[in-house]
Structure 1
Amino acid sequence: MTTASRRPHAPVRITVDLVIITIRGDRLHVLLVERDNEPYRGALALPGGFVRPEEALEDAARRELAEETAIEAGRMHLEQLHTYGAPDRDPRGRVVTVAYLAIAPSLPVPVAGSDARAAHWVPVEEAEHLAFDHAEILADGLERARSKLEGTTLATAFCADTFTIGELRRVYEVVWGVPLDPRNFNRKVTSTDGFVVPTGETRSQDTGRPAALHRRGPATTLHPAIMRERPPGPPR
């Protein structure tokens, strides 16, 4: 047996981190906490923490969400995003984190707790200088949300229980960062089986006729997909 084979394994600890996004004031926001402990004390970071020995990963994610922000997961869309395990990603030692993407409409103002000094909703374009590798995790979470809007019904996770087609279109516009043609969008949505279901009710608007209300349908995938329109690039 060689010396290398007898070398003890470095202990590995596991954390969960959460990319929690919602639409506030017609802008896409991410939930960030101000760290109250070292390392990176005072820096902004994604909510998260260490997994307890008796916990499943998703249970740990839901607990950290409640402890650090006082937001209950409830009906929030929650899915595992990716695992990050670079050896030097955490100055405390070898720490592997499992990231989750969470989406919900009209999330409340967060209340900090546990090891967070404060919690804030921050427009995603202003989420800079994050602790650890959280900028990379946030970028991956945003891209996951943007890409899944194309082929799944994830956009309805940003909406209330009932919504207008115009409100659903605005979700796509905010998340993708591009305007969409209202007529084409309406046609695509209403012709896709199971995407949305009319409630038979309407909502008054400031101008024009009352808008028909819908709720999310039983479908989880879109056929055909609603393909993302890329923002125009710089002139050549």
Structure 2
Amino acid sequence: MEPDSFPKTPEEQGNLGPPVISCHSAIFSITNNQLMLLLAERSEGPFRFQWELPGTNPAPTEELSASAIRAATPPLAPLAIDDLQQLGVYSEPTRDPRHRSIAIVYWGVSHHSNIDTASSGLQLIPISEWQAGDFRFAFDHLQIAIDALEALRQSLNSTSLATRLCASAFTISELQRVYEVIFGIEIAAGNFHRKVQSTPGFITAALDQGQKPKGRGRPAQRFNSPALVQVASPFQFQPEPRHHQTDPG
């Protein structure tokens, strides 16, 4: 059944049977200074050769969030996300031409070392690619991806979630780069460093500061982020073209 032939009357829709519930995950990571989204290319059915967020049907005794993670495992390592959040429920009647479909979507972030796509059917796709006009999403997954990206940016402004896209020990400059990649902006370093360091619990000094470099120069201090915290006075970053200096607010 093609999308334009979807049943339009209540009687026609009733013949499709009960709604099918699925759980999906929108997992973001950063690789080679690019923001990536974990996607799968459909190999059959409607929207063949188009891209979709990983998803599955929940088991009867399974938490919905666990189903969403299972859909992305592998390539996502177990326990790689400690702050999975529900994005929303997508239930527009014509979203799937085969049957009434209800999608429950979660989103999260993970450091790229926790994602190994070599032996899976999923790929990390740069957002610059899926935002291009010729990239094709299946179903309503383009809108879901846009919503997930907006949720990610809002969370980065109000919490320390960006630290989860860094290595276990990182410099403030590396943390700043996460914001620059996700918002597509350049950030004034001095104000950013002061704000991060003045927010209680945002970062703590790492016990292992690594090897001291040979020669002159003091190595940049390294930090950890044991727990996610709220930023009392949120950042005010907005996505803008690169090469634009932005104050943290």
Tell me the TM-score range normalised by the shorter chain: 0.7 to 0.9
* 1:124 is aligned to 2:127: yes
Select between 197-206 and 49-58 the one with higher mean Cα deviation: 197-206
Question: Does the CA contact (< 8 Å) of 2:20 and 2:100 recur in 1?
Answer: yes
Name the one with the larger strand percent.
Answer: 1
> Are 2:205 and 2:221, in contact at CA under 8 Å, matched by a contact in 1?
yes
Question: What displacement does 1:217 show?
Answer: 4.4
* Alignment of 1:180 onto 2:150: no
The reply to whether residue 74 of structure 1 matches residue 79 of structure 2 is: yes
Distance 1:86 1:219 in 2: 34
Alignment partners' CA distance in 1, 2:234 and 2:37: 26
Q: Which amino acid aligns with 1:176?
A: F
Q: CA deviation at 1:72?
A: 2.7
Give the TM-score of the pair, scaled to structure 2: 0.81
Q: Cα offset for 1:205?
A: 7.2
Secondary structure, in 3 states, of the residue corresponding to 2:209?
Answer: strand
Q: CA deviation at 1:51?
A: 2.0
User: Is 1:29 the equivalent of 2:10?
Assistant: no
CA distance in 2, matches of 1:198, 1:92: 54
Whether the 8 Å contact between 1:65 and 1:73 is mirrored in structure 2 is no
Deviation at 1:215, TM superposition (A): 0.5
Question: How far 1:62 moved relative to its partner?
Answer: 2.1
Deviation at residue 73 of structure 1 after TM alignment: 3.6
| Distance in 2 between residues matched to 1:52 and 1:219, nearest whole Å | 30
State the 4+ residue runs in structure 1 displaced beyond 4 angstroms.
7-10, 203-208
**One-letter code aligned to 1:84:** Y
- Where structure 2 has 5 or more consecutive residues not aligned to the other structure, the ranges are 1-9, 243-249
2:160 counterpart (134, 149, 153): 153
Q: How many residues align?
A: 222
Conservation of the 8 A alpha-carbon contact between 1:33 and 1:112: no
1:210 is displaced (CA, Å) by 0.6
Flag the 1:205–1:156 CA change in 2: closer, same or farther, 3 A.
Answer: farther
In structure 2, do the counterparts of structure 1 residues 208 and 227 end up closer, same or farther at CA, with 3 Å as the change threshold? farther
Mean CA deviation greater in 223-232 or 193-202: 223-232
Of 69-78 and 10-19, deviating more is 69-78
- Cα distance in 2 for residues equivalent to 1:218 and 1:8: 48
2:237 maps to: 228
Structure 1 vs Structure 2 CA RMSD: 2.4
Write the letter of the residue equivalent to 2:240: P
Distance 1:110 1:140 in 2: 24
Deviation at 1:224, TM superposition (A): 1.8
Compute the displacement of 1:70 (Å).
3.4
Mark the CA change 1:40 to 1:155 in structure 2 (over 3 Å): closer, same or farther.
same
Matched position secondary structure for 1:212: coil
Letter in 1 for 2:176: R
- Displacement of 1:161 in angstroms is 1.4
Once the two structures are superposed, what CA deviation does each residue of 1:51-104 show, in whole Å capped at 9, x if it has no partner?
2333221121122112xx432341313211111000000111101000110211
Cα pair 2:24 2:53 within 8 Å, conserved:
yes
Match 1:83 to one of 79, 85, 89: 89
Instruction: Name the structure 2 match of 1:92.
Output: 98
| C-alpha deviation, 1:112, in angstroms | 5.8
User: Secondary structure of 1:202's match?
Assistant: coil
Q: Give the deviation of 1:232 after TM superposition.
A: 5.5
Shift of 1:200: 4.6
Q: Which amino acid aligns with 2:76?
A: I
